[in-house]
Amino acid sequence: MDLRLSGKVVLVTAASKGLGKATAWQFAREGAKVVICARSELINQAAQEIASETHAEVLGLRADVTQQADIERVINATVEKFGGLDILVTNAGGPPAGTFADTDLGMWEAAVNLMLLSAVRLIKCALPYLKQSANPAILTITSNSTKQPVQNLVLSNSIRLGVIGLTKTLSQELGSDRIRVNSILPGWTYTQRVDELINARMAKTGQTKAAEIAQINANIPLGRMGTPEEFANVAVFLCSPAASFVNGVMLQVDGGLHSGTF
């Protein structure tokens, strides 16, 4: 299938590694012009790797999505280099693991700023340019925890639901501007972030890493965690003109982990 992404301008945040990097890489393979940003200095290396493998135009920028000035700089640099913006993928690193008893108010405020307000800032800054695109799309990356809370992740379980509410609302409000707004809810996908969560679980349970991974896999009908590439394939399709009538969808990419009908 031709996803009709050649020449489209895409911004993917938190893309120095993990799901963000895999998604940006797949956009580049489809011929898009890609801008990636992250706080880490690894962002330039990621941009070079993607450009080398795909021969696509890739711009890497260091930026913190919790800072309004950084977001404005990234959006402006995207438009200056590529002349516009067609697709925005909002992504951010996850907050620390922990239970309600483990977390203080400062941690809650930081998590809201990281996961919810970063998406709000990005979308507000990007909207004027998305409205000028022939095939605009916004994708928020959230989590399967919005359907089914994950043990020891109270901050993520709670605040990512706000991003879901934002996504669904915008899918209705921005429809008249032809801007499709969807979300992906990944389940257990083996990334560095998931490795950190597994280590946090080990510290609480005293189990080995192999035992923790086996326990996670046992709850997934497909019997394993997903890969970043499997996630990226779905993300890129949802943003592409090939999915032109898909709007307001919260799509689980979790191997069947969530057992509910809704």
Average pLDDT over residues 196-207: 87
Cβ atoms of 72 and 124 closer than 8 Å: no
Contacts of 174 (CB under 8 A, 6+ apart): 127, 138, 181
- Any domain includes 43: yes
For residue 214, tell me if it sits in a domain. Answer: no
In Å, what is the CA distance from 18 to each residue of 9, 43, 82, 148?
21, 12, 25, 22
Please list, in sequence order, all residues whose beta carbon lies within 8 angstroms of the beta carbon of residue 121, skipping any fewer than 6 positions away: 65, 68, 71
Residue 197 lies in a domain: no
223 φ/ψ sector (left φ>0, alpha ψ -120 to 50, else beta): left
Distance CA 139, CA 113 (A): 18
Kindly state whether residue 200 falls inside one of the protein's structural domains: no
Number of structural domains (the chain) is 1
Q: Is residue 166 part of a domain?
A: yes
The residue-averaged pLDDT of 225-248 equals: 97
pLDDT band at residue 254, thresholds of 50, 70 and 90?
very high
If you compute the radius of gyration of the chain from its CA atoms, what whole number of angstroms results?
18
Phi first, then psi: give them for residue 9, nearest 5 degrees: -100, 125
* CATH code of the domain in which 143 resides: 3.40.50.720
Look up residue 94 and give its DSSP letter: P
Residue 203 domain-assigned (yes or no): no
Residue 204, in any domain of the structure: no
CA atoms within 13 A on the CB side of 78: 31
What is the pLDDT confidence band of residue 194, given thresholds at 50, 70 and 90?
confident
**Interstrand relation of 33-38 and 137-141 (parallel, antiparallel or unpaired):** unpaired
Which residue range is the domain that position 15 belongs to? 9-189+227-252
Average pLDDT over residues 60-65: 97
For CA atoms 252, 144, 197, 47, the dihedral sign is positive
pLDDT in tens, 128-169: 999 999 999 999 999 999 998 988 899 999 999 999 999 999
Whether the pLDDT of residue 262 is over 80: the answer is no
Question: How much is the pLDDT for 192?
Answer: 84
Q: Is residue 185 part of a domain?
A: yes
